[in-house]
Chains A and B, each alone.
Chain A
Amino acid sequence: MMKVVLPELGQGIEKAIVSYWYFQAGERVNEKDDLVELTTDKATFNLPSPCSGTLSEIFFREGDTVNVGETLAVIEEE
């Protein structure tokens, strides 16, 4: 099981808004696929999938605010 965590995006950025999930829970993802788009200030940031597997759980919906270090989703590795 691999956690997808919101990484440090820059100094002073403590949170971001989930703007778009490229996959839904239950779908298969490949390592490096765009997994989720986050918005901060006037920037969008695409977080790639850290591994290949099944996106088993999503903890934040589009429009939700997530803090740096929080787990966005979990992927069951192959």
Chain B
Amino acid sequence: MEYKFFDLGLVDYKFAWDFQKEIHSRVKNNEFYAAVIFCQHYPVITATRNTDRNHILANQEELRKRKINIYEVERGGDVTYHGPGQLIIYPIVNLNCFKRDVHLFLRNLEGMAINILTEFGILGERLAGLTGVWVGGGKIASIGIAVKNWITFHGLAINIKQNDLENFSLIRPCGMDIMMTSMESVLSKEISIEDVKETLTRGWQYDESSLTGVGSRD
């Protein structure tokens, strides 16, 4: 099955948010039934309707100094941080064409993250009751989605670069006291974001039971 891929590069959160909504509406109009948006964000904090504002630890002054905006968005989950060094993947998938199952889609997103980590020699795992992917007790991939008209948006953030972790101290990620980790931190070597993206693109496949984003890296 064919997918539309969009690679926005390093962009402001608002730009990618608007772009997602535009693609969501094109999927709704049956122009295509699934798309994948890749990007990285300039430093930003996103919260949800459920976010307890006490989970944002930094004060306004500190955030202004670091040029970090806060957006309240429509995805599930709690507060999170995005910045350069994270690969953001927004799959806009019309679940009417597959299986209308929100739980399955979340598990498939985790499965895809685990697959991509395996491809780079990292053993990622699920933790019971906690959405996301973990390595050695640290969270390496965060997930939060929204579903409208059975079409998904928002998605997954994989921490790739080592230097992207510091700003997580500005928040309580997902409203919990958790340690964040990244692919570079785990492997103690440089990982190219382009390489991760290319591997995902080459092997991208979604069906009722799985979402596979791993192509051969020979």
Instruction: Please determine whether B104 and A39 come into contact, CB atoms closer than 8 angstroms.
Output: no
Closest-CB distance, A45 to chain B (whole angstroms)? 5
Q: Which residues of B contact A45 (CB under 8 A)?
A: 102, 146-147
Instruction: Please determine whether B75 and A44 come into contact, CB atoms closer than 8 angstroms.
Output: yes
Q: Which residues of B contact A10 (CB under 8 A)?
A: 100-105
Instruction: Please determine whether A41 and B148 come into contact, CB atoms closer than 8 angstroms.
Output: no
The interface-forming segment of A12-20, A23-31, A52-60, A70-78 is A12-20
Given A19-B49, A48-B149, A42:B101 Cβ within 8 A: no
**A11→B105 CA distance, assembly (Å):** 11
**A8→B104 CA distance, assembly (Å):** 12
Using a CB-CB cutoff of 8 Å, which residues 26-69 of chain A contact chain B? Answer: 34, 37, 39-46, 48
Given A46-B146, A46-B147, A46-B149, A41:B75 Cβ within 8 A: no
Given A39-B50, A43-B147, A11:B101 Cβ within 8 A: yes
Give a binary string over B144-161; 1 marks a CB under 8 Å from any A CB, 0 the rest: 111111000000000000
Interface flag for A9 (CB, 8 Å) = yes
Closest-CB distance, A68 to chain B (whole angstroms)? 12
Q: Of the candidates A13, A20, A34, A37, which one forms a contact with B102 in the assembled complex, judged by CB atoms under 8 Å apart?
A: A13
**A56→B146 CA distance, assembly (Å):** 27
Q: Which residues of B contact A39 (CB under 8 A)?
A: 49-50, 76
Q: Which residues of B contact A48 (CB under 8 A)?
A: 149
A/B interface sample: 19 pairs, CB < 8 A? A9-B101, A10-B104, A11-B103, A13-B103, A39-B49, A39-B50, A39-B76, A40-B76, A40-B103, A41-B106, A42-B75, A42-B76, A42-B132, A43-B75, A43-B102, A44-B146, A45-B102, A46-B146, A48-B149
Residues on A lying within 8 angstroms of B by beta carbon are 8-13, 19-20, 34, 37, 39-46, 48
- Contacts A10-B105, A20-B49 aside, 12 further interface pairs with beta carbons under 8 A come to A9-B103, A13-B103, A19-B50, A34-B148, A39-B49, A39-B50, A39-B76, A41-B76, A42-B76, A43-B147, A45-B146, A45-B147
Residues on B lying within 8 angstroms of A by beta carbon are 48-50, 74-77, 100-106, 131-132, 143-149
